[in-house]
Every structure is written in structure tokens, then in C-alpha cells.
Structure 1
Amino acid sequence: MFGLYDIVKFLFSFFLIMPIVTLIHLSGHIFFVTIFGGVEKKIVIGCGNKLFSFWNMEVRKYYFWNGACEFKGLKHDNRLTNMFIYLGGSIFNLVTMLIVYSLVYQKILESSVIWYQFIYFSFYIMFFSLFPMYFSDGSPSDGKAAELALRNKLEDKVTDDLFMKKIEDEDNCK
């Protein structure tokens, strides 16, 4: 049955493991943005009011709930590079899942609920990120955005967790 120990495990997973998995996912997007020449990059963990920030990362009050990446422009901006940016979060989730699984399998890491839940939440985020759909706000999932980018039908570089800020014209800055 479901006992007190299970509630503690759930809270630990929800408030610690889930934000770590989210950070890994967002780092995957930023990794590919960096490779393809994006500037003014920022990772936002959570939602709500800003608690603190360091480097190019902002942590918000509800740090365990979602996250986002922001950047301006790309030096290499084409269908293929955009596809890698959209899939970057899931690629990072998959790679870390495989690393953790292989370390547990080789008995380098001790098999525990922590690693099981890490793999579970990584798969959860990866699955729903890749599922090709539109969210209620009209933004595409990463999988849908990658599909649209490959078909050259993506108008804005915006998904549920990725946002490209517009670069203002020099004339508008006067």
C-alpha cells in the first residue's frame, strides 16, 4: 500500500529530482543554442517570482514546476540546426538516463529509488517533450517544433520551454 515512507519518497522526488531532470532538459536546449551561435542565453527554473539568479540561470519561487530557456539569434540558423535545438533537451535526458542506467547495471552506482525515479522523471519529460502536439496556449511541443522546422513550417522559435527573443533593429534603438 501507500504509506508515510512513500509520501516522503514522492516529495523528495518532486522537489529535488524533478528540478534536476528539468535542468538537464533545458541544458540540452542551451547546449545546441550555444553550438549554433545563440547569444544572451538564459535558463529559467520554475515559475512565479524570481528567487535568485546566478550565471545565466534564474531560479523562481516554484522551482519544481517547469522551466524555460531564452536566447537571442543564431549564427547558424536553418532547419537542421533548429531541429537539434528543439530535440536537445530530450537528447540530454536520454543520454543521462542511459548513463545512470549503465552505472547502476555495472554496480558503480548502488541500485536505489533515487536512480529509479531519476530515470522515471527523465523518461516522463522526454516522452511528453517529444510527443508531437500543440499545448493549450498554442505553442508546439519540442517534437512538434522539430517536425515543423524540418518541414520549414515553423514561424516562431517558441515551444513550451524554449523562447527566442527578437533582436531589435539598430534603427529602433536610437
Structure 2
Amino acid sequence: MFNLEDMTLFFLSLLVILPLITMIHQAGHAFFAWIFGGKITFTIGAGKKLFDIGPVEVRRIYFWHSFCQYEKLKHDTKTAHILVFLGGSLFNAGSIILINSLILTGMFEPHIFFYQFVYFSVYYMFFALFPARYSEDHPSDMMAVYDLLKYGKSKDPLD
């Protein structure tokens, strides 16, 4: 049962774990776009812009939403775009494997932080890999792959 004592964990999840998972996801998209020669813009959060660090823009409500956009890839192939679209989930899966490996080897002790991290990473991956349209211009990552394979679209829907 959820009670007042659980509020600490709730705020830890909302303000630390979910933004970290989101940044890992978007970093996966950015990494593959960078590998294939795309120019990247990586926005963390929503609302008023606070500051920029290179191609990374940080906004006031940092835990709300994040997205990665890229311009034309130098290596413009379907495979490159598929890897960019799936890069977020690949990075999330890699972070799950890393955390579990560090726990299994005894480098990290099992802790609710890591449980929440893995739980919300799987949650994030599920919605990225579920083929759906959040709006006309915002397909899920898997829907973007579907559109690319079926219609040849290579628009950047990475958010």
C-alpha cells in the first residue's frame, strides 16, 4: 500500500531515475545519429531553456520530456535510420544488462534504486517499441521503423 513514507521513493523516481533513463534513451538515439554523421540536437526537459552544453539543451522542467533530433545523415541508409530509431532502446537494454551484471558480480548491492531503474527502463522500452502514433507527427520509435520500411519515410520522430 502506498503511504506517506513512500513519497521519498516517488520523488527519487520522478526527479532522478526517470530523467536518467530518459537521458540514456535519448543518448542512444544521439549516439547512432552521430555515428552515421548526423548533426544532433538533444533537449532535456520542457519549458524555459536554462542553458546549453554543446548540442545539449537543458530546460527548466528537466524531468518532464526529452527528445533528440538529427539532421540528414551522411551515411543515409535504411539500416542507419533503423539503428538511430532503435538506439534509445538499445541503450536502455544495455544499461539494464550493465546494472544487473554489476549486481551479480557483487560490485553493487541490490537496492531499490536499481530495481526502480530496471523497472522503469523496461517500461520506457515497452512504449518506445510499441508501434503507435502519439500524434500525426510523433510516432513511437518502432512505428518510425515501420514507416521507414513500408513507406520509405526517414523523418526524425525521436521524442
AA at the equivalent of 1:84:
L
The offset of 1:136, in angstroms, is 2.9
- Distance in 1 between the 2:20 and 2:130 partners? 21
The offset of 1:137, in angstroms, is 4.2
AA at the equivalent of 1:17:
I
- Distance in 1 between the 2:33 and 2:83 partners? 9
Aligned residue-pair number:
159
Q: Which residue of 2 aligns with 1:101?
A: 100
In our comparison, the structure showing a higher alpha carbon Rg is: 1
- Distance in 1 between the 2:96 and 2:22 partners? 13
The offset of 1:140, in angstroms, is 1.0
SS of equivalent residue, structure 1 residue 43 = strand
Q: Which residue of 1 aligns with 2:29?
A: 29
The Cα offsets for residues 123-156 of structure 1, whole Å up to 9 and x where unpaired, read as: 11111011001113442100111122223x1435
List runs of 5+ in structure 2 lacking aligned partners.
Answer: none
In the TM superposition, 1:87-98 aligns within 5 A as: 87-98=86-97
- Distance in 2 between the 1:154 and 1:26 partners? 23
SS of equivalent residue, structure 2 residue 133 = coil
> Quick check: 2:27–2:88 contact (8 Å CA) kept in 1?
yes
- Distance in 2 between the 1:146 and 1:63 partners? 27
List runs of 5+ in structure 1 lacking aligned partners.
Answer: 162-174
SS of equivalent residue, structure 1 residue 115 = helix
> Quick check: 2:148–2:154 contact (8 Å CA) kept in 1?
no
The offset of 1:99, in angstroms, is 0.8
AA at the equivalent of 1:123:
V
Structural RMSD (CA):
1.4
Q: Which residue of 1 aligns with 2:65?
A: 66
Q: Which residue of 1 aligns with 2:7?
A: 7
> Quick check: 2:140–2:157 contact (8 Å CA) kept in 1?
yes
The offset of 1:56, in angstroms, is 1.6
> Quick check: 1:140–1:158 contact (8 Å CA) kept in 2?
no
The Cα offsets for residues 18-46 of structure 1, whole Å up to 9 and x where unpaired, read as: 1111110000001110111112x121011
AA at the equivalent of 2:18:
M
- Distance in 1 between the 2:57 and 2:111 partners? 30
SS of equivalent residue, structure 1 residue 18 = helix
SS of equivalent residue, structure 2 residue 60 = strand
> Quick check: 1:83–1:147 contact (8 Å CA) kept in 2?
no
Query: TM-score scaled by structure 1?
Result: 0.86
> Quick check: 2:26–2:88 contact (8 Å CA) kept in 1?
yes
> Quick check: 2:26–2:67 contact (8 Å CA) kept in 1?
yes
> Quick check: 2:47–2:60 contact (8 Å CA) kept in 1?
yes
Q: Which residue of 1 aligns with 2:122?
A: 123
Runs of 4 or more consecutive aligned structure 1 residues displaced over 6 Å after TM superposition: none
Percent identical pairs in the alignment equals: 42
